[in-house]
Amino acid sequence: MMMKATFDDVNLILRLYEMRRDDRMREARNWFTGNFKVRTLEEWTALCAPGTDANASYRMVTSYWEMVASFITSGVLNPELFYQSGRELLFCYARVRHVLPALREKLGNPGEMKNLETVAQGFIAWWNQQSPGAYDAFCKRIGA
């Protein structure tokens, strides 16, 4: 049984939304949405070379959603309340999921984006329970 959402959950979601409105974060999110469609480590390396704006945008977006996911996995933020408005986390995961195993190996970090993956899996299960097939349709729509 899910814990009941609290006003603190709502306030945290609103604060997270405000953070997404930062000009540089908007720029990074726009770049990620329009450009990050990699499927292999080689494509990731070519697109997100160290020291480039693309690499900075990639890191900004993925680390933001990893941070948000950590609030959920640690029990600070109510998952179900987040799922109702946090589909951009799922968008991020859908775009990185193909390259994540190779990226973890390259970085020597099996925990790379583990919170993101854990929350995304819970989100997918929740969404499919609410609307069977919605996640697959979403992935098809966003090219993931």
Task: Output DSSP code: residue 121.
Answer: H
Residues 101-123: pLDDT tens digits? Answer: 999 999 999 999 999 999 999 99
Average pLDDT of the residues in 53-67: 97
Which residue carries 């973890």 as its tokens?
104
Rounded-to-integer distance, Cα 51 and Cα 8, Å: 38
- In this structure, what token pair is assigned to residue 107? 């970085």
Rounded-to-integer distance, Cα 132 and Cα 125, Å: 9
Q: Which residues of 6-35 are buried (b: 16+ CB within 10 A; e: fewer)?
A: eeebeebbeebeeeeeeeeeeebbebbeee
What's the predicted TM-score (pTM) here?
0.92
User: What per-residue confidence (pLDDT) applies to 58?
Assistant: 97
Closest CA to 58 of 85, 86, 87, 95: 95
Residues 121-142: pLDDT tens digits? Answer: 999 999 999 999 999 999 889 8
- In this structure, what token pair is assigned to residue 135? 């996640």
6: confidence class by pLDDT, cuts 50, 70, 90 = confident
Rounded-to-integer distance, Cα 93 and Cα 144, Å: 9
